[in-house]
Each structure stands twice: as structure tokens, then as C-alpha cells.
Amino acid sequence: QVQLVESGGGLVKPGGSLRLSCAVSVSDYSMSWIRQAPGKGLEWLASISSSGMTIYYADSVKGRFTISRDNTKRSLYLQMSDLRAEDTALYYCARDRTVTHYGRYFDYWGLGTLVTVS
Amino acid sequence: DIQMTQSPSSLSAFVGDRVTVTCRASQSIVNYLSWYQQKPGKAPKLLIYGASSLQSGVPLRFSGSGSGTVFTLTISSLQSEDFAVYYCQQYNNWPTFGPGTKVDTK
């Protein structure tokens, strides 16, 4: 059974940085970070291939967020910098089912970790 | 970006009702559409991918249809555990989600 467990969320001041982690039970899939602002919908942020060699970002976080993974530790990361109030959200890691180089849906999700920028 | 809209934004129904949620894309997404169910405090759960393929373990009362720009999610006989928010997501291009449809009890 695939298990994803996020950690690292918390309260951070505007302009600050935070690194999120996701423990992944299997490492042979592309993975993504997706967020959900309070009371709002879902927003895809970034994806990384199983090898870590191919990375994609949403325009809203490009240049501020960095996705990475360490397959030896079965971990996925999201380094967030220059955080803004609008980055306040529940951050999920999810396993990709990749259809095209940009097209993917998500078959397993973690429970999320809350980031509050204030 | 491909914009996704959903209708209605919310609906009230009885257990046993047939429920339909519609999702529209701002341009053709062929059949690159998935549906998710989210309950309060829980992560989204994949129900359908490829517009009409049922994810393993999802009850057969859930079905999806459509192609191009208009898609539907149907629950043939609503059960108490189906009260939730439902999101569509396109993956013809970078993933984008619809705003959600809340299904609650009448």
C-alpha cells in the first residue's frame, strides 16, 4: 500500500523560508506537490520525475519553490522561499500517474502539512 | 492555462438519489480528465481518470463520461458516505482543477 506522509509545515513570517518533506513508501514514480488554501480549491505546484532529472513548476511558484527528492531516503522535498501570505495553505504530496510530459493525474495523496505565512 | 469550471457549486440530495456534477474545460482536453472526492479533513481521493475509467476500489455507483470540453460525474444511488466535495482535474496540459462541487444532505 502506498503511503505518503508530509511534514515540515508551520508558521513563518512573510519573506521567510520553509522546507517541506514527504516520506514516500515507493520511489519509482514521479511525484508532485499540490496545495489547498483555506476554504479554496486545489493548485498543482511542481512535479519531479522518479530519477529527479526532470522537474516542472507552476508559474505561480517558479523561482521561489524548489522540488527535489532523495530516493535513498525515500523522501520528497519542497524548499519554499520568499513566502507570501497567499502561500498559506495545506500542502499535499501526491503520486503522479504521468500521461504526457506535462499531463498527469494523482492516485495517492498524503494528509498534508499546513503552512501559515503571517 | 486551461480553466476548469464546475456546476453546480453545491447541491443537496437524499440518500438514494442520482447525482450528476458537470465539469467544463476552457478548451478541448480530449479525455484527459480525472475526478476526486474530498471529505472534511481528508486528502482528495482519485475516483475516475481518463474521463470514464474507474480507479481500483471505487464503488461502481460512480461513473464518468464526456470528451472534449464537457464532462460529467454521476453517482447512481447516493450513499451517506458520498457526502463530500468533488473536484475535476484536467491533464491535457499542466494540471488544473475545477473549483469543486459540494454534495450535502437535503
Q: Please tell me the distance from the alpha carbon of residue A39 to that of residue A74, in angstroms, as a whole number.
A: 31
Interface of A with B (CB under 8 A): 32, 41-44, 56, 58, 92, 97, 99-100, 102-112
Model pLDDT for residues A74-97, shown as the tens digit of each residue:
999 999 999 999 999 999 999 999
Structure confidence at residue A97 (pLDDT)? 94
Given pLDDT bands bounded at 50, 70 and 90, which one contains residue A102?
A: confident
Q: Does A27 have pLDDT greater than 80?
A: no
Residue A100 has pLDDT above 90, yes or no: no
Do A64 and A117 meet the contact criterion of CB atoms below 8 Å apart?
no
User: How much is the pLDDT for B87?
Assistant: 98
From CA A83, how far away is CA B71, in angstroms rounded?
36
Question: If we measure between CA atoms, which residue out of B87, B90, B83, B69 comes closest to residue B24?
Answer: B69
User: Contact B98/A41, CB-based, under 8 Å?
Assistant: yes
DSSP assignment string, A27-92:
-SS-EEEEEE-TTS-EEEEEEE-TTS--EEE-TTTTTTEEEEEETTTTEEEEEE-S--GGG-EEEE
Contacts of B89 in chain A (CB under 8 A): 42, 105-106
Task: Please state, in angstroms and rounded to a whole number, the distance separating the CA atoms of residues A34 and A22.
Answer: 12
Angstroms from B91 CA to nearest CA on chain A: 4
Band (pLDDT 50/70/90 cuts) for residue A21 is very high
**Secondary structure of residue B81 in the 3-state scheme:** helix
